[in-house]
Structure 1
Amino acid sequence: MTDYSKLIDAETWAFIDRTNSFYPPDAVDHSVDEQRRTYDRMCREFHAGYPAGVTATDSAVETPTHKIPVRIYRNAEPNDAAMVLYFHGGGFILGGLDSHDDVCAEICERTGYEVVSVDYRLVPEHTHPAAYDDCRAAFEWATKTYAQPIVLCGDSAGGNLAAAVSHTTRGHARAAIGQVLIYPGLGGKLGQGSYVTHYDAPLLSVRDMDYYRDMRAGGRDISKDATFAPFNDEDYSDLPPTAVITAECDPLSDDGRDYRDRIQAAGGKAWWFDEPGLVHGHLRARHSVGRARESFTRIVEAVRALGKGDWPY
Structure 2
Amino acid sequence: MPLDPAIAAVLDQANAVTSTPIRTTDPQVLREAQRQLSATTGLTHPTDVGSVQDTAVPGPAGDVPVRIYRPAAGGPAPTVVFFHGGGWITGDLDTHDLVTRRLCRDAGAVVVAVHYRRAPEHPFPAPYEDCLAATRHVADHIEQYGAQRDRLAVAGDSAGANLAAVIAQTFRDENRPLAAQLLAYPATDFDGNYPSRTENATGYLLTTENIADLQHLYAGDDPALRRTAQVSPLRAQSLAGLAPAIIATAQYDPLRDEGLAYAQALRNAEVEVFVRNYDGLIHGFLNMFPLSPAADAAVTELYAQLTARLDTTV
Q: Normalising by structure 1, what TM-score?
A: 0.91
Root-mean-square deviation (CA, aligned residues, Å) is 2.0
Report the alpha carbon displacement of residue 201 of structure 1 after superposing the two structures with TM. 4.4
Counterpart among 107, 112, 127 of residue 116 in structure 1: 112
Match of 1:160 in 2: 162
Counterpart among 197, 200, 207 of residue 198 in structure 1: 200
Given the alignment of the two structures, is residue 288 of structure 1 paired with residue 291 of structure 2, yes or no?
yes
Given the alignment of the two structures, is residue 62 of structure 1 paired with residue 58 of structure 2, yes or no?
yes
What CA distance in whole angstroms lies between the structure 2 residues aligned with 1:271 and 1:86? 19
Report the alpha carbon displacement of residue 19 of structure 1 after superposing the two structures with TM. 2.0
Match of 1:240 in 2: 243
Report the alpha carbon displacement of residue 197 of structure 1 after superposing the two structures with TM. 1.8
Counterpart among 32, 38, 51 of residue 33 in structure 2: 38
Given the alignment of the two structures, is residue 11 of structure 1 paired with residue 6 of structure 2, yes or no?
yes
Map 1:74-113 onto structure 2 (within 5 A). Answer: 74-78=70-74, 80-113=76-109
The answer as to whether partners of 2:46 and 2:98 remain within 8 angstroms in 1 is yes
Deviation string, structure 1 residues 110-157 (Cα, Å, up to 9, x no partner): 111000000000001111000000111011101112132211100000
Q: Which has the larger displacement, 208-217 or 255-264?
A: 255-264
What CA distance in whole angstroms lies between the structure 1 residues aligned with 2:8 and 2:50? 31
User: In structure 1, the residue corresponding to 2:112 is in which secondary structure?
Assistant: strand
Report the alpha carbon displacement of residue 243 of structure 1 after superposing the two structures with TM. 0.8
Question: 1:133 and 1:310, CA in 2 relative to 1: closer, same or farther beyond 3 A?
Answer: farther
Given the alignment of the two structures, is residue 132 of structure 1 paired with residue 128 of structure 2, yes or no?
yes
Report the alpha carbon displacement of residue 162 of structure 1 after superposing the two structures with TM. 0.2
Question: 1:264 and 1:191, CA in 2 relative to 1: closer, same or farther beyond 3 A?
Answer: closer
Report the alpha carbon displacement of residue 78 of structure 1 after superposing the two structures with TM. 4.4
User: In structure 1, the residue corresponding to 2:19 is in which secondary structure?
Assistant: coil
Count of residue pairs the alignment pairs up: 305
Question: 1:65 and 1:35, CA in 2 relative to 1: closer, same or farther beyond 3 A?
Answer: closer
What CA distance in whole angstroms lies between the structure 1 residues aligned with 2:199 and 2:152? 36
Match of 1:216 in 2: 218
User: In structure 2, the residue corresponding to 1:115 is in which secondary structure?
Assistant: strand
What CA distance in whole angstroms lies between the structure 2 residues aligned with 1:191 and 1:62? 38
The answer as to whether partners of 1:81 and 1:308 remain within 8 angstroms in 2 is no
Q: Which has the larger displacement, 47-56 or 292-301?
A: 47-56
What CA distance in whole angstroms lies between the structure 1 residues aligned with 2:61 and 2:259? 35
Map 1:179-190 onto structure 2 (within 5 A). Answer: 179-187=181-189, 189-190=191-192
Match of 1:3 in 2: none
Structure 1 residue runs without a partner (length 5+):
1-5
Identical aligned pairs, as a percentage?
Answer: 30
Report the alpha carbon displacement of residue 37 of structure 1 after superposing the two structures with TM. 1.5
Given the alignment of the two structures, is residue 260 of structure 1 paired with residue 255 of structure 2, yes or no?
no
The answer as to whether partners of 1:152 and 1:179 remain within 8 angstroms in 2 is yes
Q: Which has the larger displacement, 246-255 or 38-47?
A: 38-47
Report the alpha carbon displacement of residue 42 of structure 1 after superposing the two structures with TM. 2.1
The answer as to whether partners of 2:59 and 2:134 remain within 8 angstroms in 1 is no
Match of 1:269 in 2: 272
Report the alpha carbon displacement of residue 109 of structure 1 after superposing the two structures with TM. 1.0
> What letter matches 1:198 in structure 2?
N
Deviation string, structure 1 residues 163-204 (Cα, Å, up to 9, x no partner): 000111114443211001001111165443212222224111
Q: Which has the larger displacement, 302-311 or 253-262?
A: 302-311
The answer as to whether partners of 1:197 and 1:251 remain within 8 angstroms in 2 is yes
Counterpart among 3, 7, 18 of residue 24 in structure 1: 18
What CA distance in whole angstroms lies between the structure 2 residues aligned with 1:219 and 1:266? 29
Report the alpha carbon displacement of residue 207 of structure 1 after superposing the two structures with TM. 0.6
User: In structure 2, the residue corresponding to 1:304 is in which secondary structure?
Assistant: helix
> What letter matches 2:36 in structure 1?
R
User: In structure 2, the residue corresponding to 1:254 is in which secondary structure?
Assistant: helix
Q: Which has the larger displacement, 132-141 or 23-32?
A: 23-32
User: In structure 2, the residue corresponding to 1:83 is in which secondary structure?
Assistant: strand
Counterpart among 48, 59, 68 of residue 72 in structure 1: 68
User: In structure 1, the residue corresponding to 2:279 is in which secondary structure?
Assistant: strand
Counterpart among 46, 49, 53 of residue 50 in structure 1: 46
Q: Which has the larger displacement, 183-192 or 158-167?
A: 183-192
Report the alpha carbon displacement of residue 46 of structure 1 after superposing the two structures with TM. 2.7
Given the alignment of the two structures, is residue 303 of structure 1 paired with residue 303 of structure 2, yes or no?
no
The answer as to whether partners of 1:151 and 1:306 remain within 8 angstroms in 2 is no
